[in-house]
């Protein structure tokens, strides 16, 4: 489906003690089924706010969001979120944490045996079969994040939403989980939308990188189509000039926004359905 997730003229304003605060304005973006999108920008530009709107955790003050042609009006099993904090229940085992989500979504129409198979399969997908009966305190931070990813995938979401899922991890664990995420998304053909501050992570994982202008009243400034073939190998990419070009383009945008942070952002993304060619950095019109 060419327009699987549609974000049309979305704006978000919050009421504060000092009056209305405009977090986002004129956000227009179409996301294809099976596409991996990264949202990147400086702190305070509304990346997580936009992700929360797609998740249905909040409602926009302007515009509309759709998933598979249905308006997003609240949370639902078609969209699963993986947060930076793994959010596991500490008194439940890894298996029980995943099974809780599976039972909530499929419990009314599947047998106990089928639910157990779903749970075990999800943990096996992220390489945690050996740790499924351990408590969260008995496993590492990276393993906890894998449980969170397993819990999200176990409900078979149409869209996987990731809010800086590896931000609190050390570099080696982060690299390992990035590779795992590449493998999992390829195996499941899941549509993924990820918030990140890491330029290399965004280029490695993404089909397109959506760069937001500085807040307040942040909007889409530029979109980079990453034309790197899949599957991707992080070591091989280091010598690939296309990887270097993508990385340079994103860093250039972020540096420009930092250098001119006191100036108001001009323009907005050119509207729903806009397409970009590989390695083309599209400036908002």
Six-digit token string for 222:
């530029």
In this structure, the dihedral spanned by the alpha carbons of residues 258, 40, 82 and 231, taken in order and rounded to 10 degrees, is: -140
| For the chain, domain boundaries | 5-78+157-230+252-283
Q: What is the pTM of this model?
A: 0.87
pLDDT of the residue at 188 = 87
pLDDT of the residue at 32 = 96
Residue 223 and residue 198 in contact, taking contact as beta carbons nearer than 8 Å: no
Instruction: Tell me how far apart the terminal alpha carbons of the chain are, to the nearest angstrom.
Output: 26
The residue behind tokens 């106990």 is 112
Q: Where are the beta strands (DSSP E) in the chain?
A: 5-16, 19-31, 36-40, 62-67, 70-71, 79-82, 159-163, 191-195, 208-212, 220-225, 281-283
Concatenated DSSP letters for 130-167?
Answer: GGTTS-GGGS-HHHHHHHHHHHHHHT--SEEEEESTTT
pLDDT of the residue at 102 = 96
Q: Which of 212, 178, 209, 190 is nearest to 80 (CA)?
A: 190
3-state DSSP assignment of residue 126: coil
CATH numeric code, 5-78+157-230+252-283:
3.40.50.300
- Phi, psi at residue 80, to the nearest 5°? -120, 140
3-state DSSP assignment of residue 199: helix
Low-confidence ranges of the chain (pLDDT < 50): 262, 264-285
């Amino acid at each position: 489906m060419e327009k699987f997730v549609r974000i049309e003229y979305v704006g978000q304003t919050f009421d504060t003690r000092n009056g209305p605060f405009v977090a986002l304005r004129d956000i227009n973006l179409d996301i294809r089924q099976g596409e991996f999108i990264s949202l990147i920008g400086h702190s305070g530009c509304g990346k997580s706010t936009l992700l929360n709107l797609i998740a249905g955790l909040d409602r926009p003050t302007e515009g509309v969001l759709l998933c598979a042609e249905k308006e997003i009006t609240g949370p639902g099993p078609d969209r699963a979120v993986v947060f930076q904090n793994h959010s596991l229940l500490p008194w439940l085992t890894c298996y029980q944490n995943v099974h809780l989500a599976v039972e909530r979504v499929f419990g009314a129409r599947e047998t106990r045996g089928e639910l157990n198979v779903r749970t075990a399969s999800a943990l096996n997908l992220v390489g945690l079969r050996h740790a499924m009966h351990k408590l969260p305190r008995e496993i590492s931070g990276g393993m906890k994040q894998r449980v969170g990813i397993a819990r999200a995938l176990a409900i078979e979401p149409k869209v996987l939403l990731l809010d800086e899922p590896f931000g609190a991890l050390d570099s080696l664990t982060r690299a390992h989980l990035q590779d795992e995420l590449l493998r999992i998304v390829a195996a499941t053909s899941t549509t993924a939308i990820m918030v990140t501050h890491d330029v290399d992570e965004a280029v490695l994982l993404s089909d397109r990188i959506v760069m937001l202008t500085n807040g307040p009243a942040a909007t889409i400034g530029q979109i980079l189509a990453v034309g790197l073939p899949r599957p991707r190998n992080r070591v091989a990419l280091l010598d690939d000039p296309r990887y270097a070009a993508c990385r340079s383009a994103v860093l250039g945008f972020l540096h420009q926004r930092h250098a001119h942070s006191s100036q108001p952002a001009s323009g907005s993304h050119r509207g729903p359905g806009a397409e970009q060619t590989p390695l083309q950095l599209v400036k908002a019109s």
